[in-house]
Structure 1
Amino acid sequence: MTQQPIGATPKKEGTALKVRKKPRRTIFLQMRKNYSSYLFLMPKLLLFILFVAIPVVWAFVLSFQEYKVFGSEFVGIDNYIKVFESEAFRIALKNTLLFTVVTVPFSVISALVIASMIFVLGKLSQSFFRSAFYLPTVTSMVIIAMVWRWMYNYEFGLFNYVLGWFGIEPLNWLGQSSSALWALIIMQCLIPFGVGIIMYLASMGSISESLYEAARIDGASTFKQWLYITVPLLKPTTLYLVLLSTIGSFQVFTQIIMMTGGGPGSATETLVHLIYKTGFRDFEFGFAAAQSVVLFVIILIFSIIQFRVLRHDE
Structure 2
Amino acid sequence: MQTSPNVIAKERSPSRITQFWRDYGWAYLFILTPVLLFLVFTVYPVISAFLMSFQQYNVMKSEWIGLNNYSRMLHDDVFWKSMKNTAIFTIGTVPVNILITFGLAFLIYQMKNAWQTFFKATLYLPTVASGVTLSLVWLAIFDPTSSGLMNKFLAWFGLEPLVWLGQSNSALFSIMLMSWLGSHGAGIILYLAAMGGIPKSLYEAADIDHASGWTQFSKITWPLLKPTTLYLLVTGMITSFQVFISVYLMTQGGPNFATTTIAYLIYQTAFVFYDFGLASAQSFMLAALIIIVSVIQFKYLSSDIEY
TM-score by length of 2: 0.90
Evaluate the alpha carbon distance shift between residue 73 and residue 212 of structure 1 in structure 2; reply closer, same or farther with a 3 A threshold: same
Aligned counterparts, 1:1-314, within 5 A: 33-155=23-145, 156-311=147-302, 312-314=305-307
Output the CA distance in 2 between the equivalents of 1:131 and 1:177: 36
Q: How many residues align?
A: 289
State the Cα deviation string for residues 124-160 of structure 1 (Å, max 9, x = none).
Answer: 2221111111111110111111111111111121111
Matches of 2:196 and 2:291, distance apart in 1: 31
What are structure 1's unaligned runs of at least 5 residues?
1-25
The letter for the 2-side match of 1:68 is N
User: C-alpha distance in 2, partners of 1:281/1:175?
Assistant: 22
Return 27-36 or 134-143, whichever deviates more.
27-36
Q: Give the conservation status (yes or no) of the 8 Å contact 1:196–1:241.
A: yes
Aligned partners of 2:242 and 2:22: how far apart in 1? 40
- 1:30, distance to aligned residue in structure 2 (A): 6.8
CA deviations over 1:222-275 (Å, ceiling 9, x no partner): 232122211111111111111111100000000000000000110000001000
Shift of 1:40: 3.1
Distance change in 2, residues 1:285/1:190 (3 Å): same
- Measure the CA separation in 2 of the matches of 1:29 and 1:114: 57
| Structure 2 unaligned regions, length at least 5 | 1-15
Question: CA–CA distance in 2 between the matches of 1:28 and 1:257?
Answer: 55
Distance verdict in 2 for CA 1:45–1:153, change over 3 Å: same
RMSD of the alignment, in Å? 1.8
Q: CA deviation at 1:32?
A: 5.9
| 244-253 or 47-56: bigger deviation | 47-56
How far apart in 2 are the matches of 1:289 and 1:250?
Answer: 16
Partner of 1:21: none
Indicate if the aligned counterparts of 2:223 and 2:306 stay in contact, CA closer than 8 A.
no
Asked if structure 2 preserves the Cα contact closer than 8 Å seen for 1:111 and 1:192, the reply is no
Cα deviation, residue 186, structure 1: 0.6
Is contact 2:57–2:275 with CA below 8 Å preserved after alignment? Answer: yes
How far off its partner does 1:47 sit? 2.0
